[in-house]
Structure 1
């Protein structure tokens, strides 16, 4: 397993829509393993492939609490089939927008269809932190960032801050 460098805002790669995976093979499994290693190293609880520069519809999540055994999950070509009308608000952060957090409201529960690490089709109900994390990471696959769910003023301030930091580092800007 290899820790991959994270793509950081304002890199335009984060706005790409990820393409579905045609099959689950050894290369996809290695990608999932690398993503998990990268996520744990960061540390984070979720990571979409686009965040390491791979525009494919795969994400990894582990919402185990500190002190609990790791519970890594791999979701390939995830699709939200339904969402509850009930809403929940969590303070979200993002490995691609380091050290910035904001309250985001999303559906409290979702129904999801996806392929697992072995390529088997699965369907699940998710609520709480898992539902929030899945929605956050699926947004990434669609080129959407959690800051798109906050006020325009706050979003513009965050983008400006990260654009300025990227210029100081000599990176790409939006």
Structure 2
């Protein structure tokens, strides 16, 4: 079964700025959400997508992200916690909910996410470089934090002015 792509919410929508609720019910509805998130991610050609980005306030994210060596990592994590280590690495970052612009942002070089999968079985995912950045970005979404929230106010305003509408996004304010 394949999911249906949902519109991706854009900065300004309250769901993006609110910490998510823990998933407590595992079953067909959660499976469908994850399938729809993967479909949305594919349409938008992204590398990660958190449930708030499709308007759902649950602690789940999906990823289809290469690491710095080009190895593709695909999966999902429900109710994640994250630990980071290593020196901060500054690299360009963007977001499907801030469509269009990118900006340099420091993130830890390594990240490990622990949670469960859609059946409630334990999951642990670790990454370095670009994949570590993806894991940190998506877990931030579940806390109600966007990558632009890490930027100084003047840079954040510039990024917001550079946003562009895409057909896979909800309307840009």
| 1:35 correspondence with 2:1 | no
CA distance in 1, matches of 2:40, 2:156: 26
How far did 1:11 drift? 2.0
Deviations 1:92-151 (A, max 9, x none): 111111111001101111222111233211223321111100110111111101011222
Q: TM-score, normalised by structure 2?
A: 0.84
Q: Which residue of 2 aligns with 1:94?
A: 95
How far did 1:161 drift? 5.9
Question: Which residues of structure 2 form unaligned runs of 5+?
Answer: none
CA distance in 2, matches of 1:44, 1:172: 18
2:56 pairs, out of 45, 48, 54, with: 54
Q: TM-score, normalised by structure 1?
A: 0.84
Q: Which residue of 2 aligns with 1:152?
A: 153
Question: Which residues of structure 1 form unaligned runs of 5+?
Answer: none
Residues 98 and 137 of structure 1: is their aligned pair in 2 closer, same or farther, counting only changes over 3 Å?
A: same
The answer to which structure has the higher helix fraction is: 1
Aligned residue pair count: 165
1:93–1:99 CA contact under 8 A, matched in 2: yes
Q: Which residue of 1 aligns with 2:118?
A: 117
Q: Which residue of 2 aligns with 1:105?
A: 106
CA distance in 1, matches of 2:140, 2:106: 13
CA distance in 1, matches of 2:106, 2:17: 21
How far did 1:69 drift? 9.2
